[in-house]
Structure 1
Amino acid sequence: MSRVVRLADVAVPLEPLPATDVVEGAPSAGSVALATIGEVEVGVWRMTAGVATDVEVDEAFVVLSGSARIRFADGEAIDVAAGDLVTLDAGERTEWTVHESLTKVYVA
């Protein structure tokens, strides 16, 4: 892989989320791993509009485009949009309400 990846040019194949994870709508999601540094993966992830649940891994990400609200099992909710840096902890249960397709670059 090249030393430079133009994130805007990364094609992310999308698949419908499992019905057991979907709360509302018909969201699709997908990711592409771009690099591995030691045991850490760097990649791009995308989810289309809708509401879905997830169980997180240790991760930091920067939102490249789109917007969403992430609600945590403890009731905390955060709104994220382009330019935001977010950290997640392994095992956290979340609900993602994606308003417009969300694309993020992650380190996990």
Structure 2
Amino acid sequence: MTVNVDAVALAIPLEPLPADQVVAGAPSTGFVELTDTIGVWEHTPGTSTDVEADEVFVVLSGSATLSFADPAREPVELRAGSIVQLTEGMHTVWTVHETLRKVYVAG
């Protein structure tokens, strides 16, 4: 299978996050699955919590601070070009300053 898509221009339907995940603001998120393991995800400005799956992602646009519930892990400043690996079960806080778009590979 070949994936050939303009991930920057891809239309992503966004929905408000559930209230129990919102820490600040009124962020919306959405994603488009390109295959079983590859997708494009977007998060508008605001702060939200999440529990992660195994994935590697590359930030295409925007900026955010990714913090972790584990105090041993330092926050990560995200911007276009950032590459991050997350492991299943990590508890994270996404503070999005400018709408963040990433391509992820899960699993």
Q: Same fold (TM over 0.5)?
A: yes
Which category of TM-score, normalised to the shorter sequence, fits these structures?
Answer: over 0.9
Identity %: 57
After TM superposition, what 4+ stretches of structure 1 lie above 3 angstroms from structure 2?
Answer: none
SS at match of 1:20: helix
SS in 1 for 2:34: strand
Matched position secondary structure for 1:6: coil
Matched residue of 1:66: which SS? strand
Q: Secondary structure at the match of 1:5?
A: coil
User: What is the alpha-carbon distance in structure 2 between the residues aligned to residue 77 and residue 3 of structure 1?
Assistant: 32
Pairwise CA distance, 1:3: 4.2
TM-score when normalising by structure 2 = 0.92
Q: Which has the higher strand share?
A: 1
Partner of 1:105: 103
Structure 1 position 2, deviation (Å) = 6.6
Aligned residues: 104
Instruction: State the match for 1:90 in structure 2.
Output: 88
Q: Name the residue aligned to 2:21.
A: 21
> Does structure 1 residue 60 correspond to structure 2 residue 22?
no
Output the CA distance in 2 between the equivalents of 1:88 and 1:31: 17
Q: Does 2:10 correspond to 1:10?
A: yes
